């Protein structure tokens, strides 16, 4: 990734995709961002694909980022044999709703560990036993396939 400063305007970042397409992001001083696509015939020239406000940028990066997390998880699963990672959304009727992780004694019962809880657009890494789960949280757990299946039952039944 290359960075170019534009005095009085902001900063431009660009990189070349695997297909050889040059893509840039122009970050204006006021936080507005533009996505730029460079012309294949004349690499000096680009067209602005879309202009995004700060909230728009967050929305787009979430869309792009979500698939990235899934990809990363898939890679980890492949690397450690026998170990699986799963995401469990907590429904409003779940027995875990309103109880702490310690209350559920998940590790004792399943051997799988809760490594993170995603709440809204925030993620809490390595939550302690005192962490209280609520509906709409998403639990990220690591364990054996059997252990994770047991956890799914505990959370959903």
**Rg of the chain over all Cα atoms, to the nearest angstrom:** 21
Q: How far apart are CA 44 and CA 35, in angstroms?
A: 15
Q: Which is nearer to another protein, 36 or 90 (CB)?
A: 36
Interacting residue with another protein among 34, 88, 142, 155 (CB under 8 A):
34
- Taking CB under 8 A as the criterion, the residue among 16, 21, 43, 98 binding another protein is 43
Residue (of 86, 151, 153) closest to 116 by Cα position: 86
The piece of 21-29, 63-71, 94-102, 147-155 that touches another protein (CB under 8 A) is: 21-29
Q: Which stretch binds another protein (CB under 8 A): 28-36, 81-89, 98-106, 109-117?
A: 28-36
Out of 24, 104, 127, 143, the only residue in the binding site for another protein (CB under 8 A) is 24
Neighbours of 143 (CB within 10 A): 23
CB within 8 Å of 30: residues ≥ 6 apart:
none
Among positions 48-87, residues that touch another protein (CB under 8 A) are 48
Q: Which stretch binds another protein (CB under 8 A): 24-32, 58-66, 89-97, 136-144?
A: 24-32
Judged by CB under 8 A, does residue 32 bind another protein?
Answer: no
φ, ψ dihedrals at 7, nearest 5°: -55, 130
| Backbone angle region of 112, left / alpha / beta, with phi > 0 → left and psi within -120 to 50 → alpha | beta
Alpha-carbon torsion, ordered 47, 49, 55, 58, to 10 deg: -100
**Does 26 engage in binding with another protein (CB under 8 A)?**
yes
Report the residue from 16, 21, 47, 61 that binds another protein according to the rule CB under 8 A.
Answer: 47
**Chain residues in the site for another protein (CB under 8 A):** 4-9, 12, 24, 26, 29, 34, 36, 42-48
């Amino acid at each position: 990734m290359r960075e170019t400063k534009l005095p009085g305007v902001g900063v431009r970042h660009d990189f070349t995709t695997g297909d050889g397409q040059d893509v840039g992001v122009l970050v204006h001083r006021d936080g507005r961002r533009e996505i730029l696509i460079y012309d294949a015939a004349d690499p000096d020239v680009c067209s602005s694909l879309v202009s995004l406000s700060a909230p728009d940028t967050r929305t787009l990066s979430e869309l792009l980022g979500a698939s990235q997390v899934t990809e990363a998880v898939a890679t980890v699963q492949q690397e450690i044999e026998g170990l699986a990672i799963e995401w469990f959304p907590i429904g409003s009727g779940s027995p875990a709703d309103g109880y702490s992780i310690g209350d559920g004694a998940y590790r004792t019962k399943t051997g799988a560990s809760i490594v993170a809880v995603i709440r809204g657009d925030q993620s809490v890494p390595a939550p302690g036993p005192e962490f209280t789960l609520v509906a709409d949280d998403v639990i990220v757990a690591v364990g054996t396939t059997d252990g994770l299946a047991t956890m799914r039952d505990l959370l959903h039944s």
